Amino acid sequence: MSVPPPRAEGAFPSAPVRPKRTLSLKQRQALWAYSFLLVPLAFFVIVRFVPTLTAFRMSLFDWNTVGTEHPFVGFENYTRLASDATFGRALRNTAFYALIGVPAQIALGLGIALLLSRITALRGLLRALYFIPYVTPIVAATWVWQWLLSPQFGPVNTVLVTLGLPAQSFLTSPDQALPSATALVVWQNLGFQVVLFLAGLAAIPRSYYEAASLDGANGWYTFRRITFPLLNPTIVFSVVTGTIAYLQLFTQIVNLNFTDQGGPLQSTLTVAVYIYQVAFGRFQMGYASALTVVLFAIILVITLLQMRFLTRRFDY
């Protein structure tokens, strides 16, 4: 039997060594995930939130880039909007673009996607042809449309005259310029809508159609009860992104009539183009910032309403 060595006088036994607390694998993974998320979050805050807050702050001042004084005016720039006839015209034009353009491009995109999903020959070629306008530079496409719709030497008027129909003014007429510009934007976005709906149609299980066929359902009933409800996420995405794009319409309008942007007689003027004219034509940055804040609020409210009332969930 061994005898423990005698303890020195005044010495105490050492405390047991506790293992160091370390993060679990799941906690370390979460920490790394949040660390990587901080980078794009910081970029988003700097690029999005800071300019938005700066625009709201500038809207409270009489901020003219020419002068050196920027007096505080409170909400005077916002009250000025109520009596600005040009802003009212731009707002109505923008609403027209969105109300006509978004349903038109969604209906055409869905119809073409349904037709393409039923064929096998040349499907890839046709899909590429529809998608080419979407990847074409907006400025180049706009200039081509400007030539096509030219009242003097445009091919469209040549065809109309050949058919015995009167030539049209199109972009030079205050009555026809707005629908002509809307047609350009619909044509340009159509390919993207076709691709979206083709992807949505491919995600619908074939077994639903087979079951409906066995029950004797016709094509319209199948579309109304299966295809359209299950395309709801695609439709909501198309409506929301399309509406935002139309409410921010700028490049096409500026290039359709470069010498009279938003013309003729403000018939194609949008809110985004008007903001540009106020900011960089009149150098009234304070008033332009107020216009920007109002446009941001309109887009935010419309987007929330669309997502609230259009989103549906269907389970079969």
Quick one: tokens of 146? 């400007």
Reported as a single tens digit per residue, the pLDDT across 169-199 is 999 999 999 999 999 999 999 999 999 999 9
Reported as a single tens digit per residue, the pLDDT across 65-114 is 877 888 999 999 999 999 999 999 999 999 999 999 999 999 999 999 99
What are the b/e assignments for 23-47, b being 16+ CB within 10 Å? Answer: eeeeeeeeeeeeeeeeeeeeeeeee
Q: What local confidence, expressed as pLDDT, does residue 164 receive?
A: 93
| Position 127 confidence tier, pLDDT thresholds 50, 70, 90 | confident
In the predicted model, what is the mean pLDDT of residues 111-121? 91
As a whole number of Å, the end-to-end CA separation of the chain is 79
In the predicted model, what is the mean pLDDT of residues 206-229? 91
Query: Torsion over CA of 131, 257, 263 and 282, rounded to 10 degrees?
Result: 110
Count CB atoms within 10 A of the CB of residue 239: 18
Reported as a single tens digit per residue, the pLDDT across 225-234 is 999 999 999 9
Domain annotation for the chain: domains and CATH numbers: 84-139+175-310 (1.10.3720.10)
In one-letter notation, the amino acid at residue 249 is L
CA–CA separation, 90 vs 70, rounded Å?
27
Examine the pLDDT at 13 and tell me if it is beyond 70.
Answer: no
Q: What local confidence, expressed as pLDDT, does residue 22 receive?
A: 77
Reported as a single tens digit per residue, the pLDDT across 260-279 is 889 899 999 999 999 999 99
Q: What local confidence, expressed as pLDDT, does residue 14 receive?
A: 61
Q: What is the pTM of this model?
A: 0.84
Phi, psi of 110 (to 5 degrees): -65, -40
What are the b/e assignments for 137-148, b being 16+ CB within 10 Å? Answer: ebeebbeebbee
CA–CA separation, 73 vs 80, rounded Å?
11
In the predicted model, what is the mean pLDDT of residues 236-252? 95
Phi, psi of 67 (to 5 degrees): -85, 170
Quick one: tokens of 159? 């065809």
| Position 1 confidence tier, pLDDT thresholds 50, 70, 90 | very low
Percent of the chain with pLDDT over 70: 93
